[in-house]
Amino acid sequence: MELHLKAPTLSLADKLWSINWLLVALLCLIGAVGYAVLYSAAGGSPEPWAFRHAVRLAAGLCLMLLLALVDVRVWFKIAYPLFAFGVALLVAVDVMGFAAKGAQRWIDLGPVQLQPSEIMKIALILVLARWFHPAWLDDVRRPLFLVVPLLMVAVPVALVMVQPDLGTAITLITLGGTLFFATGVRWWKFALVIALVLAVLPVGWEMMHDYQRQRVLTFLDPENDPLGAGYHIIQSKIALGSGGFWGKGYLHGSQAQLNYLPEKHTDFAFTTLAEETGFVGATATLALFLGVVLMGIHAATRARSQFARLVIIGLSMNFAVYAVINTAMVMGLIPVVGIPLPMISYGGTVMLTVLIGFGILLSADVHRDMPILRYPRR
Amino acid sequence: MQQEAERLRWFKRRSLLLGAGTCGLFGTLVGRLWYLQMAEGQRYQLLSESNRVSERLILPSRGRILDRGGRPLADNAATYRVRVVRELTPDLPGTLERLGGLLGLSRERIAEILAQAQARPRFVPVGVREDLSWEEVARIAVRAPELPGIILDAGTVRHYPEAATLAHVLGYVGPVSEPELKGESDPLLQMPEFRIGKQGVERAYDPLLRGRAGLSRVEVNAVGREMREIDRSEGTPGQDLTLSLDLDLQRFAMSRLSAETGAAAALLDVRDGGVLALASVPSFDPSLFQNGISQRNWASLRDDKLAPMVNKAFKGEYPPGSTFKMMTAIAGLETGVIKPDTRIRCTGSIWMGSIEFHCWKKGGHGAVDLAQSLERSCDCYHYEVARRLGIDRLAEYARRFGLGERTGIDLPGERPGVVPTVAWKRATLDQPWHRGETLISGIGQGYVLATPLQLAVMTARLCNGGLKIAPWLVRGGERQLACCTALEPVGVAKEHLDVVLDGMFRVVNSPSGTARSAALHTPGVLMAGKTGTSQVRRITKADRLSGAYKRKDIPWEHRDHALFVGFAPHEQPRYAVAVVVEHGGGGSAVAAPIARDLLDRALQLDATVAASPRADEPA
């Protein structure tokens, strides 16, 4: 296939026809659920959150559809430069963070705030897909071949940890692992890495100061501190649990309406939803997210180029990681790490990066029959 | 080509595994949702409800206290007060500082409020000051934005229209103290604006007067602000109490006694024991205690030698003196050691071994019979009767008339008095009884002590045909019901009572009676009674020789107590009275006129009451 020197081109009509409109519809639906939650979180008002959420959603969807029309080879070409740019930005925020003597995750560009860690998630997926694109199974199974992609994961993870932003670091590791896994890296190599990490952990624990250990313990078990960090998760569980099967009724969630629920419009938006619509509404919303992820995985398997496959599955799993970490966090299954629920939580940056990601995903899907040279001409 | 096929096969297999893994994770999430919302849902619903709902108590209005004619003696008046809620102010000390500036609160008072606020739950309002003037209300209202958590509202204060006239009987209310809080489960006591009865009727009947708290369930948000009221159950207001007391008579008694330095009187209905007046001077202003009395005021009340806080009518114990002679006489007749016509010669003193016991009349009364001995208050006669009786038999009869034990009036703090016996002296003083002490007990001196109320009860039991009435204040109260269902007889022969009553009649109405100047002004009605002059200090032989013990210039606190007990009308006794004037001198000169005036007044009131329908009796 890759011997075709003359790549076929697609007309605009072809492209529009082959956009996965069902996926777009599911995303619109999730965005609409987000509008309803934010409307309720404001006590039954489009201000201050729901209206702006809708505007961002509309703008983000337009941007997503525009990106979907972009030739997939453009992503292939910019993968390395984009990754380099992303690493540079991470170094920049770390330096600024040292200068300000505090955690720094943003680069302020006047009207827009740039969050390098969000850019890095997409850049990492693209660069790994680019690296693995020419690799046959035999290449992947050579340990030396994996050294470079391991570094591609390790460098941004290290830079993010310095911020410190454990949530994003875990997301990046998960995404890297997903792509390694999808290319067919052997199980035992994953097992080896996990075993190594577990072996190193006690040594690291021994080297830590007491106050550092205390921080880790509070982080791992916030309910030990019911007035501080634990307050959030305790109130979130009360809100969720008191929703019952049918919920307390839309606009009638007492925990959210009476402000017992912290961050009810951002990180804990899912709790607001689950309190008011109960097990039924929460499960239905989770089903929407799962639907999007499964559609993405399905799209990946029908692409002709390895690059497109890896990009699509990587971006799908990025979305899945967001949703799973956020909901598991508000349900008290994992520590509070401060990751929002995409398309539902209030916040422009995350919605924008998620929809850009889906733009690239749709682009790769639209061009799923387009071959990409194993080693393109420079 | 084959490499591509193999790569795709692996990719599809791994994608399937990723898809399955994602489904597994979402399944876990749904399982967790099921656990939280279904399995544990009930528990979290309770927690959410307790988050949401806060219960606020509503203070019931305290029951009023009325006199027998329905006139208010204690009621509730509206007042403005300012309170602070700790949870509603970000900076409690700062807010109190600003408020203190507006109201002129002292630094100590601010510290006190701070401590109180810290000790109670953060949403409970704590009283800062009550009884604000209009000007102060306006000053706070204008600066309201700078005073978060400060609540201005209308409350009630206990109002005593008669103030000092009834302070001793009604008592007063005040903030709940720590010991009162212990062992009480009534949530009302937790409220800072609640006032509990501290003395008198207010304390004895506090559970009835306070009523039951209402409950307002309000929805509160995370910072404690009340969003709306969910429901409300009004409390039960406290019960109104009607006293047996007559306001006019009480006022009259207090003003009549107030000429004396210290005095007490009790006047009661001999038929049922209802107390119509219970007076004690000096008195105090009960409103001082409303918001907690200041240290200075408290110290001056407490340390006053005249004990203004003490209702001497039932807490003051005095040697009854000659008013006790009726007991000696009754005991003598009942045991048969004397007959009504037994005559005993009084030579001015009687010898007991080597000790001489004097009669108050230096030359003696000559030979007198029993009625004459009361009429002229001959001491020798009663020394002799007591000598024949022995102390224990004398005590037994005194007890039957209510002396030596609490009358059981429905007020706290009553004193029991003393009627000594051989066993009593052994138990309390660990000393043997001397026979001489029997003699002085016979004239109500020595160890014998009685409260004015006990003396009134004794008189009532003598003149009502020997029925064991007991005094009570609150109509429908336990004491009244206990008293009036079936009156037990004292257990004394009527002819013996009649002899003693004849003697008491002659005290007032015979030319040689000790209180002949105290006849009633009410036309056509006669009274009977007995004077008493009890020694506070032992009279020495030197005093007797110099005659100094009668002089007015000995110190006040060493002078004799003046006593009088009496009843009227003589034919059909209705009222019994006892008057004690502390260190007042002679019973006939000082106490008898007061008692006469009280009985007069009671009889006059009776006449006006008889002309109009009685308020206190069912038609």
**Which whole number is the average pLDDT over B456-477?**
91
Alpha carbons within 13 angstroms on the beta-carbon side of residue B617 total: 8
Contact A258 B43 (CB under 8 A): no
How far is residue B315 from each of residues A185, B450, B451, B576, measured CA to CA in Å? 100, 9, 7, 19
Interchain contact B77–A (C-beta under 8 A): no
Which chain A residues contact residue B15 at CB under 8 A?
Answer: 182, 297, 300-301, 313
Percent of chain B past pLDDT 90, that is, above it, reads 44
Distance of CA B203 to the CA centre of its chain: 7
| pLDDT interval class at A102 (50, 70, 90) | low
Question: Which of A227-231, A250-254, B349-353 shows the lowest mean pLDDT across its residues?
Answer: A227-231
Q: Which two tokens stand for residue B434?
A: 């001397």
Residue A183: what pLDDT? Answer: 93
Contact B18 A178 (CB under 8 A): yes
Interchain contact B47–A (C-beta under 8 A): yes
Distance of CA B535 to the CA centre of its chain: 29
Task: Enumerate the active-site residues of B.
Answer: 322
Q: Domain spans of chain B?
A: 55-242, 247-282+308-611
Residue A377 pLDDT > 60: no
Q: Which two tokens stand for residue A256?
A: 């959210």
Contact B221 A300 (CB under 8 A): no
- Of A239, A242, A297, nearest to B15 by CB-CB distance is A297
Which chain A residues contact residue B227 at CB under 8 A?
Answer: 258
CA distance A211 to chain B (A): 30
- Of A182, A282, A306, nearest to B14 by CB-CB distance is A182
Question: Which of A91-105, B390-404, B444-458, B488-502 shows the lowest mean pLDDT across its residues?
Answer: A91-105
Q: Which CATH number fits domain B247-282+308-611: 3.50.50.60, 3.90.930.12, 3.40.710.10, 3.10.560.10?
A: 3.40.710.10
CA distance B192 to chain A (A): 28
Residue A29: what pLDDT? Answer: 97
Task: Give the span between the Cα atoms of B469 and B573, in whole angstroms.
Answer: 13
- Of A182, A328, A331, nearest to B18 by CB-CB distance is A182
- Of B14, B25, B36, nearest to A241 by CB-CB distance is B36
Question: Which of B103-107, B180-184, B601-605 shows the lowest mean pLDDT across its residues?
Answer: B180-184
With beta carbons less than 8 A apart as the criterion, state whether A311 and A75 touch: yes
| pLDDT interval class at A125 (50, 70, 90) | very high
Q: 3-state SS of chain B: helix, strand, coil percent to 5?
A: 45, 20, 35
Contact A255 B51 (CB under 8 A): yes
Question: Which of A167-181, A200-214, B127-141, B383-397 shows the lowest mean pLDDT across its residues?
Answer: A200-214
Interchain contact A305–B (C-beta under 8 A): no
Residue B239 pLDDT > 50: yes
Task: Give the span between the Cα atoms of A184 and A176, in whole angstroms.
Answer: 13
Q: Domain spans of chain A?
A: 12-366
The three-state secondary structure class of B182 is coil
- Of B29, B44, B52, nearest to A258 by CB-CB distance is B52
Give the tens place of pLDDT for each residue, A261-303: 878 888 899 999 999 999 999 999 999 999 999 999 999 999 9
Interchain contact B367–A (C-beta under 8 A): no
With beta carbons less than 8 A apart as the criterion, state whether B478 and B543 touch: no
The DSSP annotation for B103-167 comes to: HT--HHHHHHHHHHHHHS-TTSEEEEESS--HHHHHHHHHTGGG-TTEEEEEEEEEE-TTGGGTH
Contact B7 A136 (CB under 8 A): yes
Task: Give the span between the Cα atoms of A235 and B215, in whole angstroms.
Answer: 27
Average pLDDT, chain B: 86
Which CATH superfamily hosts domain B55-242? Penicillin-binding protein 2a (Domain 2) (3.90.1310.10)
Beta bridge partners of B349: B358
| pLDDT interval class at B553 (50, 70, 90) | low
| pLDDT interval class at A117 (50, 70, 90) | confident
The kind and range of the H/E element at B312 are: helix B312-315
**Which whole number is the average pLDDT over B89-99?**
85
SS (H, E, C) B547-584: CHHHCCCCCHHHCCEEEEEEEECCCCCCEEEEEEECCC
CA distance A286 to chain B (A): 7
Which chain A residues contact residue B5 at CB under 8 A?
Answer: none
Interchain contact A289–B (C-beta under 8 A): yes
Q: Which two tokens stand for residue B177?
A: 């103290």
| pLDDT interval class at B480 (50, 70, 90) | confident
Residue B86: CB partners within 8 Å, gap ≥ 6? B92, B117, B118, B120, B122, B123, B124, B126, B149
- Of B25, B34, B48, nearest to A255 by CB-CB distance is B48
Task: Give the span between the Cα atoms of A265 and A337, in whole angstroms.
Answer: 16
CA distance A253 to chain B (A): 10
Residue B482: what pLDDT? Answer: 72
Which tops the pLDDT comparison, B185 or A268?
A: A268
Residue B547: what pLDDT? Answer: 58
| pLDDT interval class at A106 (50, 70, 90) | confident
CA distance A31 to chain B (A): 19
Phi, psi (degrees; rounded to nearest 5) at A306: -60, -35
Average pLDDT, chain A: 87
Phi, psi (degrees; rounded to nearest 5) at B537: -130, 140
Q: Position of tokens 């595994």?
A: B17
Residue B47 pLDDT > 90: no
Give the tens place of pLDDT for each residue, B70-80: 999 999 888 88
Residue A3 pLDDT > 50: no
CB-count exposure of residue B550 (10 Å: 0-12, 13-18, 19+) = middle
| pLDDT interval class at B617 (50, 70, 90) | very low
Give the tens place of pLDDT for each residue, A162-199: 777 777 888 899 999 999 999 998 888 899 988 988 88
Contact B38 A297 (CB under 8 A): no
DSSP summary character for residue B262: S
How far is residue B205 from each of residues B178, B239, B242, B474, B478, measured CA to CA in Å? 20, 10, 12, 9, 10
With beta carbons less than 8 A apart as the criterion, state whether B79 and B154 touch: yes
With beta carbons less than 8 A apart as the criterion, state whether A372 and A76 touch: yes
Residue B402: what pLDDT? Answer: 93
**Which whole number is the average pLDDT over A252-267?**
83
Task: Give the span between the Cα atoms of B588 and B316, in whole angstroms.
Answer: 21
A148-207 residues touching B, CB cutoff 8 A? 178, 181-184
Percent of chain A past pLDDT 70, that is, above it, reads 88
With beta carbons less than 8 A apart as the criterion, state whether B467 and B488 touch: yes
With beta carbons less than 8 A apart as the criterion, state whether B529 and B567 touch: yes
Which chain B residues contact residue A332 at CB under 8 A?
Answer: 36
DSSP summary character for residue B243: B
- Of B14, B32, B33, nearest to A184 by CB-CB distance is B14
- Establish whether the linkage from the previous residue to A335 is cis, with ω within 30° of 0: no
Task: Give the span between the Cα atoms of A250 and A8, in whole angstroms.
Answer: 51
Interchain contact B136–A (C-beta under 8 A): no
**Which whole number is the average pLDDT over B560-585?**
91
Which chain B residues contact residue A259 at CB under 8 A?
Answer: 221-223
Contact A297 B22 (CB under 8 A): yes
Looking only at the bridges linking them, the beta strands covering B528-534 and B53-58 are unpaired
Residue A368 pLDDT > 70: yes
**Which whole number is the average pLDDT over B329-339?**
94
CA-nearest of B322, B314, B326 to B417 is B314
Give the tens place of pLDDT for each residue, B109-122: 888 888 888 877 67
Taking CB atoms and an 8 Å cut-off, how many pairs form between chains A and B? 142
A33-72 residues touching B, CB cutoff 8 A? none
Amino acid at B446: G
SS (H, E, C) chain A: CCCCCCCCCCCHHHHHHHCCHHHHHHHHHHHHHHHHHHHHHCCCCCCCCHHHHHHHHHHHHHHHHHHHHCCHHHHHHHHHHHHHHHHHHHHHHHHHHHHHCCCCCCEEECCEEECHHHHHHHHHHHHHHHHHCCCCHHHHCCHHHHHHHHHHHHHHHHHHHHCCCHHHHHHHHHHHHHHHHHHCCCHHHHHHHHHHHHHHHHHHHHHCCHHHHHHHHHHHCHHHCCCCHHHHHHHHHHHHHHHCCCCCCCCCCHHHHCCCCCCCCCCCHHHHHHHHHHHHHHHHHHHHHHHHHHHHHHHHHCCCCHHHHHHHHHHHHHHHHHHHHHHHHHCCCCCCCCCCCCCCCCCHHHHHHHHHHHHHHHHHHHCCCCCCCCCCCC
Give the tens place of pLDDT for each residue, B344-376: 999 988 888 888 888 888 888 889 999 999 999
Q: Which two tokens stand for residue A5?
A: 């020197």
Question: Which of A312-316, A318-322, B51-55, B250-254 shows the lowest mean pLDDT across its residues?
Answer: B51-55
Which chain A residues contact residue B47 at CB under 8 A?
Answer: 238, 241-242
| pLDDT interval class at A378 (50, 70, 90) | very low
CA distance B49 to chain A (A): 8
Q: Position of tokens 């007889």?
A: B489
Residue A189: CB partners within 8 Å, gap ≥ 6? A143, A146, A180
CA-nearest of B298, B296, B319 to B308 is B298
Give the tens place of pLDDT for each residue, B13-26: 999 999 999 999 99
Task: Give the span between the Cα atoms of A318 and A355, in whole angstroms.
Answer: 12
Contact B6 A137 (CB under 8 A): yes
The three-state secondary structure class of B7 is helix
DSSP summary character for residue B245: -
Beta bridge partners of B233: B215
Q: What is the ipTM of this complex?
A: 0.93
Q: Position of tokens 């340390």?
A: B303
With beta carbons less than 8 A apart as the criterion, state whether A223 and A230 touch: yes
Residue B294: what pLDDT? Answer: 78
